[in-house]
């Protein structure tokens, strides 16, 4: 027991170290486990949806109407094996799917017992369709008719056609990528934490080397000491990780609604509460991270890695760095991109302190002034000794820079895009099944509207891009406008032919959104075949327009191009009434359409709502990066302070040698500020490169749309100020130490910071 | 999966508290206990048949069927046995005059099952279909007669007393026209056919003289067939007595122009026999248990007896009934044996035999 007390007494003497270790472990656990909890929840939702139903084909009506039980009866009486699938949103959230097991009997083939569904959906078994139909009376239900693979499109009567049936969102791997992105951020946080924890721990170990030597003299074997150290770190880790996980849950719940809404808005995938995930996995992971970080030296012999050793290390690292950057330019999958980022980080992280100390040495070599020479040599030593927290700070700064840039770019792009989309002042929902012609005639006749107002009609629906002869085609959203006026001609297009809006107005073409262009490899000038209603049209692509926030493909065309049997799912009018007031317009429209109520929305309100939703989306990433930066800053602060304290004796020498205390403080300030500024300077190119990777490589792969690359010198300034502050704080803390006498460090061991 | 659901449905109604053995073949001996206020109707002595209504469905009875068996010959004289059956299982009883529920509520008040089989040249083809009731793709109607499940249908043709039956499935099909040559024959006591000494039973009538013509397609070969058929119509809510394992049923067309229907219900101690003697000219006679002797003569390795001795001494009937070589097991949800038979002894003839409740 006394042995343990002796070991732990170190923390009694240096309670701040214990506090720092504990805080870092708790914070890191909170961050990482919170993010992990959210992403695993979302993954489970996506996976469940995907696996619950083997990919099947469904029958749809060619005229666009929804299928009903009458269609089911008709198809069954023709001898086709179809079964109903009734999806109803459940009152507790989530959804309920009703199926007919009797109808599904024909899906079984003699060789396989495979039913169209497997197991459960979202933790709930499928229900009999009569139950779902009961629910559908209050909520909305959606009926689909699944058809057995034994039949093909040829067996269908002429009024029907085949389409693929998937339960999950139709987003390809985009949902997965989004989550992978978040997970990668989490891993980065883990990495930074590991570095920080390691640095603090190593410092502690260095300080305790004397006590270990003492204990050894008293007869305690090294093995026993090592075992106790392992026990000590495990105890500390367990005590800190558990509250960290609990805090992480709290964080996840707090951010969960925003995250869920983002997921739903981006990918049409609601977040199901589902399983709780458990705490064993995060506990085990964090424990492993902490143990490896602290005790890595046990795993390999304690080789002294002074980074200044050997020029070849430097060159090798530089080559690896170049390789990583090249990889990030050329690879095309998300996983390899993350690998490239990891490679670059590792190389840059190892290079940075090396670079600083070499440069400082070189400057010292050519220095005339003894003080500045001392300063530069001291800087070199510091860079080597404080390598780990410095690198951690560099990583954190680069990450913050990149994520800030991403978020700001996105915000401004999105704001601009939204403003374009919502250019009209008001949006009027057209009631189902009214004839729009008299309304449009009236609108066209109003002189005030023609003079000072703008309006157009919007028709939304679905179309198909036919696939190969036997494949089902791709579903796309249809966004039809008419007339094409100044409300849209101001849009910014990524690519376009000459005078695209005129061609669109004449009905000689179609525009596609960025997601569709990327996924189908469509370019302007190409000809696109589209199935609208019962007609198949071939139209040239006039341009590609941005469409943020959802990965579905969409085509934009003139309303006049739509065939008469096209069934729209939705129609609306966008109008800026100008001199005519909105009340006049709505009153007249109510008269024309003979309705009591009209849904009229103020587009400004919609803009605010949309912005709020996207803010929520990035709240999570912002929170993570800010917290990580704070973590790194505090760690460096603490480390620097502790380290400076061990060298207090040398700094006292300055005073002894004739500098006034104020001058000595000044030297210290210059020293620490130059250190932190140096690392900030090195973080800068890394941050810019990471911004580029995020915006131009990761974002398109994860979301389907890209963002313009932009540089924000404002952020650099912020980071510079931050590094300045850190440096100043360290120096100030040190200066206070100058007053108290310090003893000569007895042990000249390099690890104790005893370089002279 | 659907097997499980079907089984669960039936067992749930058939009385889960009873062991499968007590519940008898296909759970038909189980006691029906509906949760709704409308009770199941149980036929009893004194119930009478009424036409044409009784050709249609009885939604307040638990189980009923429309059952055709046919002994046909090809143009070359080879025998072809043919069966078509459609079962209705009521999950929730409903009075006959009540409005059926709306199809778009996907009601679960009844379930339909249809069987079709062809026995030719020692080969046996069998298909089974299931459907939910009151949706529209399966149903029955008395006037004009129509009984259908998906694309299988029996319907009244344009002429009176003439029906058309069409069945098609993976690899084989048949298309027959049936003409009814005799008025319906009521079994038992004017239609109430007791199945045990305690009085459980069913309403049961048959069309015993059907002239059939049509085509049977098996894979690539199409056979022109003609022959005679027997159509059963039966409904009940408590078919078997608890403890009865199954039954053996025979419908025979004798060369003399007479017809014979006989069945035996097997119980733990003894069996219950009944039948109907339908002379060529004259009224049908219900046979009491003591007037009829029926027993297998040669047990089969599988457990289904293929040879039987049937005696009705009062009418000079002493028959050896045997199934042709081949395996005639209908392997659906509830397997049973259904095969054409040939008759020899005091009379010659053909017929059909159904054996249920063996082995499992």
DSSP A191-254: HHHHHHHHHHHHHHHHHHHHHHHHHHHTT--HHHHHHHHHHHHHHHHHHHHHHHHHHHHHHHHH
Q: Is the pLDDT of residue A204 over 70?
A: yes
Is B1–A72 a contact, with Cβ atoms under 8 angstroms apart?
no
| Interchain CB contact of B130 with A (< 8 Å) | yes
Q: Which residues contact A597 (CB under 8 A, 6 or more apart)?
A: A590
State how far Cα A232 lies from the chain centre: 36
Q: Which residues of A635-673 are buried (b: 16+ CB within 10 A; e: fewer)?
A: bbbbbbbbbbbbbbebbbebeeeebeeeebbebbbbbbb
Q: Is the pLDDT of residue B2 over 50?
A: no
Is A79–B151 a contact, with Cβ atoms under 8 angstroms apart?
yes
Chain A residue at shortest CA distance from B137: A73
Q: How far is CA A512 from CA A472, A518, A539, in A?
A: 20, 10, 11
What are the tens digits of pLDDT across the range A441-455? 888 887 777 766 678
State how far Cα A25 lies from the chain centre: 23
Which residues of B are less than 8 Å from A70 in CB distance?
Answer: 103, 136
For residue A51, the model assigns a pLDDT of 52
**CB neighbourhood size of A522 (10 A):** 21
- Return the structure tokens found at A90: 């459940």
Based on the fold, state whether residues A717 and A652 are members of the same structural domain. yes
Q: How far is CA A99 from CA A91, A218, A274, A334, B110, in A?
A: 19, 77, 22, 38, 16
- Quick one: which of B238, B190, B237, B297 has its CA closest to B62? B237
Residue A472 pLDDT grade (very low, low, confident, very high; cuts 50, 70, 90)? low
For residue A167, the model assigns a pLDDT of 54
| Positive or negative: CA dihedral A680, A683, A685, A690 | negative
On whether the CB atoms of residues A632 and A389 are closer than 8 A, the answer is yes
For residue A651, the model assigns a pLDDT of 78
Distance CA B209, CA B68 (A): 11
Which residues of B are less than 8 Å from A104 in CB distance?
Answer: 1-2
DSSP A86-103: EEEE-TTSSEEEEE-TTG
Rounded average pLDDT over A312-333: 83
Q: Which residues contact A699 (CB under 8 A, 6 or more apart)?
A: A406, A705, A706, A707
Domain that holds residue A738: 307-419+605-756
Which residues of B are less than 8 Å from A86 in CB distance?
Answer: 106
Is B1–A113 a contact, with Cβ atoms under 8 angstroms apart?
yes
Residue with the larger pLDDT of the pair B321 and A191: B321
- Return the structure tokens found at A431: 């009631």
Distance CA A676, CA A397 (A): 11
Q: Is the pLDDT of residue B204 over 90?
A: yes
Q: Mean pLDDT for chain B? A: 87
For residue A404, the model assigns a pLDDT of 78
Based on the fold, state whether residues A270 and A226 are members of the same structural domain. yes
Lowest mean pLDDT among A217-221, A424-428, A615-619: A615-619
| Interchain CB contact of A155 with B (< 8 Å) | no
Residue A116 pLDDT grade (very low, low, confident, very high; cuts 50, 70, 90)? low
Lowest mean pLDDT among A375-379, A696-700, B246-250: A696-700
Is B151–A115 a contact, with Cβ atoms under 8 angstroms apart?
no
Shortest CA gap B156–chain A (Å): 17
Based on the fold, state whether residues A452 and A485 are members of the same structural domain. yes
Distance CA A19, CA A7 (A): 16
For residue B257, the model assigns a pLDDT of 92
- Quick one: which of B217, B248, B251 has its CA closest to B233? B251
On whether the CB atoms of residues B142 and B55 are closer than 8 A, the answer is yes
On whether the CB atoms of residues A658 and A370 are closer than 8 A, the answer is no
Based on the fold, state whether residues A489 and A592 are members of the same structural domain. yes
Q: Which residues contact B282 (CB under 8 A, 6 or more apart)?
A: none
Which residues of A are less than 8 Å from B5 in CB distance?
Answer: 101-102
> Which residue in B104, B106, B151 is closest to A100 by CB distance?
B106
Based on the fold, state whether residues A229 and A82 are members of the same structural domain. no
- Chains A, B: CB contacts within 8 A come to 68
Lowest mean pLDDT among A233-247, A723-737, B30-44: B30-44
Distance CA A90, CA A86 (A): 12
| Interchain CB contact of A69 with B (< 8 Å) | yes
For residue A54, the model assigns a pLDDT of 52
Rounded average pLDDT over A81-91: 81
**Which of A286, A305, A324 is a domain's end point?**
A305
Q: Which residues of B164-183 are buried (b: 16+ CB within 10 A; e: fewer)?
A: ebbbbbeebbbebebbbeee
What are the tens digits of pLDDT across the range B121-144? 999 999 999 999 999 999 999 989
For residue B12, the model assigns a pLDDT of 42
Residue A75 pLDDT grade (very low, low, confident, very high; cuts 50, 70, 90)? very high
Among A279-283, A338-342, A566-570, B196-200, name the most confident range. Answer: A338-342
Rounded average pLDDT over B15-19: 41
Q: How far is CA A2 from CA A5, A9, A220, A516, B282, in A?
A: 5, 10, 12, 70, 115
Q: Is the pLDDT of residue B209 over 80?
A: yes
Q: Is the pLDDT of residue A112 over 60?
A: no
DSSP A111-137: TB---SS-SEETTEE-EEHHHHHHHHT
Q: Which residues contact A253 (CB under 8 A, 6 or more apart)?
A: none
State how far Cα B131 lies from the chain centre: 18
- Return the structure tokens found at B212: 């059939």
For residue A745, the model assigns a pLDDT of 54
Distance CA B92, CA B108 (A): 8
Residue of A77, A78, A80 for testing the chain B interface, max B β-carbons within 10 Å = A77
Shortest CA gap A161–chain B (Å): 20
Is B148–A77 a contact, with Cβ atoms under 8 angstroms apart?
yes
For residue A12, the model assigns a pLDDT of 84
Coil, strand or helix at B113: strand
For residue B253, the model assigns a pLDDT of 96
Based on the fold, state whether residues A413 and A433 are members of the same structural domain. no
For residue B332, the model assigns a pLDDT of 87
DSSP A612-640: HHHHHHHHHHHHHHHHHHHHHHHHHHHHH
Q: Is the pLDDT of residue B265 over 80?
A: yes
Q: What is the DSSP letter of B96?
A: T
For residue B79, the model assigns a pLDDT of 95
Based on the fold, state whether residues A188 and A77 are members of the same structural domain. no
Distance CA A185, CA B208 (A): 81
| Interchain CB contact of B148 with A (< 8 Å) | yes
Distance CA A344, CA A689 (A): 10
Distance CA B19, CA B168 (A): 37
What are the tens digits of pLDDT across the range A367-407? 888 888 888 988 888 888 778 778 888 888 888 888 778 77
Is A100–B132 a contact, with Cβ atoms under 8 angstroms apart?
yes
What are the tens digits of pLDDT across the range B290-309? 999 998 987 766 678 999 99
Beta bridge partners of B186: B205
Based on the fold, state whether residues A564 and A437 are members of the same structural domain. yes
Which residues of A are less than 8 Å from B129 in CB distance?
Answer: 105-106
Burial class (CB within 10 angstroms; exposed 0-12, middle 13-18, buried 19+) of A92:
exposed
For chain A, the C-alpha Rg in angstroms (whole number) is: 33
Coil, strand or helix at A109: strand
What are the tens digits of pLDDT across the range A262-305? 555 555 555 555 445 567 877 888 888 888 887 776 655 444 45
Model-wide pTM > 0.80: no
For chain B, the C-alpha Rg in angstroms (whole number) is: 19
Residue A168 pLDDT grade (very low, low, confident, very high; cuts 50, 70, 90)? very low
Q: Mean pLDDT for chain A? A: 77
For residue A320, the model assigns a pLDDT of 87
For residue B59, the model assigns a pLDDT of 93
> Which residue in B1, B106, B135 is closest to A104 by CB distance?
B1
Q: Is the pLDDT of residue A416 over 50?
A: yes
Distance CA B172, CA B158 (A): 26
For residue A440, the model assigns a pLDDT of 81
Residue with the larger pLDDT of the pair B113 and A432: B113
Q: Is the pLDDT of residue A170 over 60?
A: no
| Interchain CB contact of A718 with B (< 8 Å) | no
Which residues of A are less than 8 Å from B135 in CB distance?
Answer: 69, 72-73
On whether the CB atoms of residues A188 and A342 are closer than 8 A, the answer is no
Rounded average pLDDT over A95-122: 66
For residue B77, the model assigns a pLDDT of 92
**Which of A165, A196, A211 is a domain's end point?**
A165
For residue B225, the model assigns a pLDDT of 96
Q: Which residues of B204-214 are buried (b: 16+ CB within 10 A; e: fewer)?
A: bbbbbbbebeb
Q: Is the pLDDT of residue A426 over 90?
A: no
Q: How far is CA A1 from CA A225, A565, B348, in A?
A: 13, 87, 105
Q: Is the pLDDT of residue A590 over 70?
A: yes
Based on the fold, state whether residues A182 and A82 are members of the same structural domain. no
Is A105–B130 a contact, with Cβ atoms under 8 angstroms apart?
yes
Q: Is the pLDDT of residue A525 over 50?
A: yes
Rounded average pLDDT over A106-125: 55
Residue of A75, A81, A84, A101 for testing the chain B interface, max B β-carbons within 10 Å = A101
Is A133–B105 a contact, with Cβ atoms under 8 angstroms apart?
yes
**Which of A143, A165, A187 is a domain's end point?**
A165
| Interchain CB contact of B5 with A (< 8 Å) | yes
Is A105–B129 a contact, with Cβ atoms under 8 angstroms apart?
yes
Residues 159-198 of chain B whose Cβ lies under 8 A from any Cβ of chain A: 168
Q: What is the DSSP letter of A190?
A: H
| Interchain CB contact of B136 with A (< 8 Å) | yes
Lowest mean pLDDT among A166-175, B103-112, B219-228, B252-261: A166-175
Residue with the larger pLDDT of the pair A745 and A99: A99
Q: What is the DSSP letter of A531?
A: E
Q: How far is CA B104 from CA A67, A165, A395, B132, in A?
A: 11, 22, 61, 12
Contacts 24+ apart (CB under 8 A), A359-366: A361/A308
What are the tens digits of pLDDT across the range B18-62? 444 556 677 666 655 566 678 888 888 888 999 889 999 999 999
Burial class (CB within 10 angstroms; exposed 0-12, middle 13-18, buried 19+) of A45:
buried
Residue B117 pLDDT grade (very low, low, confident, very high; cuts 50, 70, 90)? very high
Residue B254 pLDDT grade (very low, low, confident, very high; cuts 50, 70, 90)? very high
State how far Cα B327 lies from the chain centre: 19
Rounded average pLDDT over A208-220: 84
Residue A198 pLDDT grade (very low, low, confident, very high; cuts 50, 70, 90)? confident
- Return the structure tokens found at B313: 């001494």
Strands A120-121 and A474-482: unpaired
Rounded average pLDDT over A141-162: 82
What domain count does chain A have?
Answer: 4
Q: Is the pLDDT of residue A576 over 80?
A: yes
DSSP A650-709: HHHHHHHTT--HHHHHHHHHHHHHHHHHHHHHHHHHHHHHHHHIIIIIIHHHHHS-----
Lowest mean pLDDT among A319-323, A671-675, A706-710, A711-715: A706-710
| Interchain CB contact of B2 with A (< 8 Å) | yes
Residues 95-124 of chain A whose Cβ lies under 8 A from any Cβ of chain B: 98, 100-106, 108, 113, 115
Chain B residue at shortest CA distance from A134: B105
Rounded average pLDDT over A229-255: 85
Based on the fold, state whether residues A375 and A237 are members of the same structural domain. no
Based on the fold, state whether residues A581 and A609 are members of the same structural domain. no
Location of structure tokens 């269609």: A71
Distance CA B320, CA B327 (A): 19
Based on the fold, state whether residues A627 and A704 are members of the same structural domain. yes
Helix (H) or strand (E) holding A56: strand A56-61
Distance CA A693, CA A703 (A): 14
Distance CA A624, CA A182 (A): 10
What are the tens digits of pLDDT across the range A608-647? 766 666 666 667 667 777 777 777 777 777 767 666 766 7
Shortest CA gap B12–chain A (Å): 15
Shortest CA gap A124–chain B (Å): 17
Q: How far is CA A526 from CA A386, A540, A541, B160, in A?
A: 58, 6, 6, 66
């Amino acid at each position: 027991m006394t042995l343990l007390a002796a070991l732990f007494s170190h923390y009694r003497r240096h309670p701040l170290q214990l506090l720092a270790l504990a805080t870092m472990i708790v914070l890191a656990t909170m961050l990482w486990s919170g993010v992990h909890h959210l992403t695993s929840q979302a993954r489970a939702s996506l996976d469940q949806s995907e696996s619950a139903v083997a990919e099947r084909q469904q029958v749809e009506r060619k005229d666009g109407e929804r299928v009903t039980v009458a269609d089911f009866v008709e198809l069954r009486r023709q001898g086709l094996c179809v079964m109903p699938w009734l999806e109803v949103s459940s009152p507790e959230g989530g959804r309920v799917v009703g199926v007919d097991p009797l109808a599904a009997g024909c899906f079984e083939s003699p060789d396989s017992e495979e039913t169209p569904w497997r197991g459960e959906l979202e933790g709930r078994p499928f229900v009999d369709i009569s139950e779902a139909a009961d629910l559908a009376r209050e909520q909305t239900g959606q009926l689909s008719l699944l058809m057995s693979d034994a039949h093909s499109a040829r067996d269908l009567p002429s009024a029907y056609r085949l389409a693929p049936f998937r339960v999950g969102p139709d987003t390809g791997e985009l949902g997965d990528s989004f989550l992978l992105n978040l997970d990668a951020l989490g891993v980065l946080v883990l990495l930074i934490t590991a570095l920080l924890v390691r640095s603090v721990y190593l410092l502690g170990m260095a300080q305790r080397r004397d006590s270990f030597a003492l204990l050894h003299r008293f007869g305690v074997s090294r093995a026993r000491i090592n075992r106790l150290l392992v026990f000590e770190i495990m105890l500390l880790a367990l005590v800190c990780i558990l509250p960290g996980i609990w805090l992480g849950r709290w964080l996840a719940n707090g951010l969960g609604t925003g995250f869920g809404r983002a997921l739903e808005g981006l990918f049409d995938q609601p977040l199901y509460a589902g399983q709780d995930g458990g705490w064993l996995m995060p506990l085990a992971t964090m424990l492993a991270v902490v143990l490896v970080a602290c005790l890595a030296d046990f795993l390999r012999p304690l080789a002294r890695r002074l980074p200044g050793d050997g020029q070849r290390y430097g060159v090798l690292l530089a080559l690896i760095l170049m390789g990583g950057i090249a990889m990030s330019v050329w690879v095309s999958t998300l996983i390899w991109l993350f690998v490239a980022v990891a490679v670059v980080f590792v190389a840059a992280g190892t290079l940075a302190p090396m670079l600083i100390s070499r440069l400082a040495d070189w400057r010292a070599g050519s220095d005339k002034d003894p003080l500045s020479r001392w300063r530069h040599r001291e800087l070199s030593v510091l860079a080597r000794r404080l390598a780990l927290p410095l690198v951690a700070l560099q990583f954190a700064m680069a990450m913050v820079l990149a994520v800030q840039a991403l978020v700001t770019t996105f915000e401004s792009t999105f704001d601009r895009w939204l403003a374009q989309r919502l250019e009209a002042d008001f949006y009027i929902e057209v009631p189902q099944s009214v004839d729009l012609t008299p309304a449009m005639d009236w609108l066209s006749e109003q002189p005030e509207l023609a003079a000072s107002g703008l309006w157009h009609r919007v028709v939304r629906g679905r179309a198909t891009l036919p696939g190969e002869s036997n494949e089902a085609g791709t579903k796309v959203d249809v966004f039809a406008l008419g007339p094409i006026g100044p409300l849209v001609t101001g849009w910014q297009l990524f690519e376009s032919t000459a005078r695209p809006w005129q061609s669109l107005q004449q009905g000689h073409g179609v525009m596609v959104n960025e997601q569709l262009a990327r996924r189908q490899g469509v370019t302007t000038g190409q000809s696109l075949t589209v199935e609208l209603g019962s007609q198949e049209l071939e139209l040239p692509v006039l341009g590609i327009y941005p469409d943020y926030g959802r990965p579905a493909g969409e085509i934009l065309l003139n309303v006049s191009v739509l065939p008469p049997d096209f069934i729209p799912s939705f129609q609306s009018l966008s109008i800026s009434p100008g001199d005519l007031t909105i009340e006049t317009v709505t009153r007249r429209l109510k008269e024309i359409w003979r309705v009591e109520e009209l849904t009229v929305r103020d587009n400004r309100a919609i803009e605010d709502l949309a912005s709020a939703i996207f803010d929520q989306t990035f709240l999570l990433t912002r929170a993570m990066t800010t917290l990580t930066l704070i973590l790194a800053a505090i760690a460096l602060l603490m480390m620097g302070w502790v380290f400076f304290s061990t060298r207090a004796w040398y700094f006292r020498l300055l005073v002894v040698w004739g500098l006034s205390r104020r001058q000595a403080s000044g030297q210290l300030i210059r020293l620490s500020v130059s250190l932190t500024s140096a690392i900030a300077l090195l973080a800068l190119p890394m941050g810019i490169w990471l911004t580029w990777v995020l915006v131009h490589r990761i974002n398109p792969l994860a979301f389907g749309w890209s963002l313009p690359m932009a540089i924000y010198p404002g952020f650099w300034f912020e980071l510079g100020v931050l590094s300045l502050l850190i440096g100043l704080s360290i120096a100030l803390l040190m200066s206070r130490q100058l007053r108290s006498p310090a003893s000569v460090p007895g042990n000249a061991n390099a690890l104790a910071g005893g370089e002279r | 999966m659907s097997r499980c659901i079907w089984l669960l449905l039936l067992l749930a109604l058939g009385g889960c508290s009873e062991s499968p053995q007590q519940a008898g073949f296909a759970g038909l001996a189980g006691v029906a206990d509906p949760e709704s206020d409308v009770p199941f109707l149980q036929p009893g002595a004194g119930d009478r048949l009424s036409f044409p209504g009784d050709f249609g469905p009885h939604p307040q009875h638990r189980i009923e069927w429309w059952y055709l068996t046919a002994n046909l010959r090809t143009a070359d004289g080879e025998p072809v046995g043919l069966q078509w059956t459609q079962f209705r299982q009521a999950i929730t009883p409903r009075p006959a005059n009540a409005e059926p529920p709306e199809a778009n509520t996907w009601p679960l008040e009844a379930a339909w099952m249809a069987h079709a089989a062809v026995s030719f040249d020692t080969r046996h083809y069998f298909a089974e279909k299931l459907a939910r009731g009151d949706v529209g793709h399966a149903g029955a109607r008395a006037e004009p007669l129509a009984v259908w499940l998906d694309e299988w249908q029996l319907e009244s043709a344009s002429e009176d007393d003439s029906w058309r039956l069409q069945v098609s499935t993976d690899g084989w099909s048949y298309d027959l026209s049936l003409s009814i040559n005799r008025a319906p024959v009521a079994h038992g006591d004017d239609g109430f056919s007791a199945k045990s000494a305690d009085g459980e039973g069913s309403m049961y009538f048959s069309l015993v003289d059907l002239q059939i013509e049509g085509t049977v397609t098996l894979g690539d070969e199409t056979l022109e067939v003609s022959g005679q058929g027997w159509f059963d119509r039966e409904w009940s809510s408590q078919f078997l007595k608890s403890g009865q394992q199954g039954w053996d049923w025979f419908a025979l067309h004798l060369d003399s122009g007479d017809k014979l229907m006989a069945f035996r219900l097997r119980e733990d101690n003894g069996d219950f026999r009944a039948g109907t003697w339908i002379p060529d000219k004259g009224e049908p006679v219900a046979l009491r248990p003591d007037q009829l002797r029926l027993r297998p003569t040669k047990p089969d390795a599988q457990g289904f007896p293929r040879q039987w001795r049937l005696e009705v001494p009062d009418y000079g009937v002493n028959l050896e009934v045997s199934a042709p070589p081949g395996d005639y097991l209908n392997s659906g949800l509830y397997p049973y044996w259904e095969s054409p038979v040939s008759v020899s002894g005091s009379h010659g003839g053909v017929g059909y035999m159904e054996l249920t409740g063996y082995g499992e």
